[in-house]
Amino acid sequence: MRLIVYSLLFLLTSPLYAAATLHLLTEHFPPYNYQEGGRITGINAEIVHRLCEITNTQCSMQLYPWLRAYEYALQDPKAGLFSTSRTPERRHKFQWVGPLASSRSFLYRLKSRPEVNPRDLDQARQFGIAVARGDVYEEFLQRAGFVRGKNLLDFPSKSAPIGLFLKGKVDLVIGSELVMPGWLAAHNASIDLVEPVIQLETKGENYLALNLAVSPEQVQALQTALDEMKSSGEYQRIVGILFVEAMPDVRANKVHN
């Protein structure tokens, strides 16, 4: 009820946003954002849908490979991009609304390949690691001395290498406790086949990144709406529903967000 009252007051007192539009871009990154039945959904997608409703913003959503979505978001003055890590390198390129839902990231290996046994990133350079082109972890690993085409293997999306990984043709993949069960399930595989070997340094929580040309008032309205969703419990309900219903394998493995 508190959120409903807040939303009505916001709309009545903020005609500036009545005709506001945003072109929101994202990638296939379940369970945070993905397409189902013609609708872009997922934990963070549904949170962003709700932010658009609360602020009376007309939001279109499109799914692209990560690097293309990132480039469009930098070029389009009405664009936004999610789920985006707010790193020091990206901080001044966008305006930020968040944080949205996120979880810890690891390097994973197949349990059937004990010879893939790095204990730290120095040892991991001996193996091939799959990364999504333009992803925050590609940047991170390159700064740590990894080389594209040698021990960094480029793919168009975060989940794209899973098939080759399961065949033993990719040594290590980057994933989180929340996303790996779903990625594996898409290949009829179980989380029991893999195990994390190195926890990766946190590269920033997930956010909605907005083009610098979006008005600061619009950015603040979205942030205020998100803060109110969290304080009212609506944010937690959206995360909980999608976490439990859409990702039962994750729930069984007691992953915490």
Do 96 and 208 fall within a single domain?
A: yes
Do 15 and 97 fall within a single domain?
A: yes
Do 92 and 119 fall within a single domain?
A: no
Distance separating alpha carbons of residues 198 and 228, to the nearest angstrom: 36
**Residue 257 lies inside a defined structural domain of this protein:** no
Residue 202 per-residue DSSP state: P
Could you read off the pLDDT of 188-240 as tens digits, one per residue? 999 999 999 999 986 678 999 999 999 999 999 999 999 999 999 999 999 98
Strand-pair category, 39-41 with 34-36? antiparallel
Cis omega (within 30 of 0) on the bond before 99? yes
**Token pair of 81 as six digits:** 């991009």
Structural domain boundaries enclosing 195: 105-199
Could you read off the pLDDT of 157-186 as tens digits, one per residue? 899 999 999 999 999 999 998 889 889 998
What pLDDT, on a 0 to 100 scale, did the predictor assign at position 244? 61
Do 44 and 130 fall within a single domain?
A: no
Q: Give me the CATH number covering residue 178.
A: 3.40.190.10
Distance separating alpha carbons of residues 12 and 49, to the nearest angstrom: 20
